[in-house]
Amino acid sequence: MAKKTRRGQKQCPKCNAWVKGTRAKACPKCNYQFNGKQRVTPVVEAASAEKPPKAADTVTISQVKAVAQMVNTVGGFDRFNELLGVIREVGGLRRMKDLLEAMSAAQVGTTAV
């Protein structure tokens, strides 16, 4: 059986239950005694666990919802990717915004007539 690992957890070899805390002495399910052979690296784990998430890395539900709605609006992921390609082609978001403004201005002009 392949031994799997999970962050901050270890698997009981007797009942296969995941035990929280790599330094646990016994399995809470079957009371299996871990012999302590495993090398634990608490310093590395504590450091990575305490690292606060950067704001840019954090994906919020409202962001996901906004993008999902945009994907729906343009007609699916393929179309959305096309759109992103066009934005890149015209030279970025700011340029795209200028073009859109010019377009909407032209549209207002034609419909007003």
For Zn ion, the binding residues (CB under 5 A) are 12, 14-15, 17, 27, 29-30, 32
Q: How far is the CB of 25 from Zn ion (least distance, A)?
A: 12
Three-state DSSP class for residue 20: strand
34 or 80, CB closer to Zn ion? 34
Query: Are 10 and 19 spatial neighbours (Cβ–Cβ below 8 Å)?
Result: yes
Q: How far is the CB of 40 from Zn ion (least distance, A)?
A: 18
What are φ and ψ of residue 85, in 5° steps? -65, -40
28 or 91, CB closer to Zn ion? 28
